[in-house]
Amino acid sequence: MTTPTVTARTRRRLAQWGFVAPAVVFMLLFFGYPLVRNVVMSFQHYTPKTFFTGEAPFNGADNWSNVFHDALFGKALWHTLVFTAGSLLGQFCIGLALAVFFSRRFPLNGVLRSLILLPWLVPMVVSGIVWRRILDQDTGVLNSFLDTLGAGGHTPWLTSPDLALLSVVLVNVWIGIPFNMVILYGGLQEIPKELHEAAALDGASAWRTFRSVTLPVLRPVVTVVLVLGFMSTVKILDLILALTDGGPADATQTLGTLTYQNSFVQLDFGAGAVVGNVLILISAVFAVFYLRANRTEGK
């Protein structure tokens, strides 16, 4: 009596899993497996020879101690923090200012707002190369513009170790503004009008209203923007390779570019995996923040 219904239910469950299974398998292969493999690889000795012999003997914590004793690792870690913090600060502040600006009603608002997305949609490598041209010391348009203003004009934006990181941050701020603007604009639209009207009735100034009404209500969106911004900024590779290739004198080397250098230039995949794992660890800390923010917002 019961067997037919049980098999029918089992068959239905199986059919339902058929919808989800391909995605699960794909994600296990393309995300789960690399995560595990990177941990294993960080304890293996890779050389260019490995690709002919296939042998990568385990070498304990050698890769880890080599990487941590290399002065470049500390530099890359520091550059990653400066790059990420600087980019987020710039993108967020300008993005928020633009979101507030575009929340006013004025003619052509919608057209201008969507056109401003373009820098975000262009491949990052391409943006990097365009900016490399603009920032060129001798023939770049930025220096010739500054020259006409009588303000310097021979600034080595990308070729001086002191300036290169700052320049890379500024370019990334430019890339990130549209993303910040769109999400914050969306958040601003969802604030009930009555809140602002009430504040106006109480005689609050525009700045006061912004600080005491708008910002607190916007907070969940702000958290999401900042965490997502962090996740995408901390791992950036293409922009830096296109602008400076990590140079000059490793001045723009970050954990992302260092992973690439170790693995695909030096062909030491063990060392690359170590740096990659550090990058994952940093991301994981922020993933926790993200999930918290998501959860508190969802309920």
For another protein, which is the closer residue by CB, 24 or 85?
24
Dihedral Cα 192, 216, 102, 92, nearest 10 deg: -150
Q: State in angstroms the smallest separation of the CB of 22 from another protein.
A: 5
Which tokens in the block code for residue 293?
Answer: 């923010």
Task: Quickly count: other Cβ atoms within 10 Å of residue 291's Cβ.
Answer: 11
Closest CA to 229 of 28, 75, 62, 95: 95
DSSP 225-243: HHHHHHHHHHT--HHHHHH
For another protein, which is the closer residue by CB, 213 or 243?
243
Q: State in angstroms the smallest separation of the CB of 283 from another protein.
A: 5
What is the distance between the alpha carbons of residues 48 and 268, in angstroms, rounded to a whole number? Answer: 7
For another protein, which is the closer residue by CB, 16 or 205?
16
Q: Which residue has the tokens 């609050």?
A: 204
For another protein, which is the closer residue by CB, 106 or 162?
106
Helix 269-298 vs helix 71-102: crossing angle, to nearest 10: 30
Q: State in angstroms the smallest separation of the CB of 297 from another protein.
A: 8
Closest CA to 139 of 163, 161, 156: 156
Q: State in angstroms the smallest separation of the CB of 149 from another protein.
A: 14
For another protein, which is the closer residue by CB, 86 or 270?
270
Q: State in angstroms the smallest separation of the CB of 33 from another protein.
A: 7
- H/E run at residue 182: helix 164-189
Non-local (6+) Cβ contacts of 253 within 8 A are 72, 75, 76, 79, 246, 247, 261
For another protein, which is the closer residue by CB, 162 or 239?
239
Q: State in angstroms the smallest separation of the CB of 249 from another protein.
A: 19
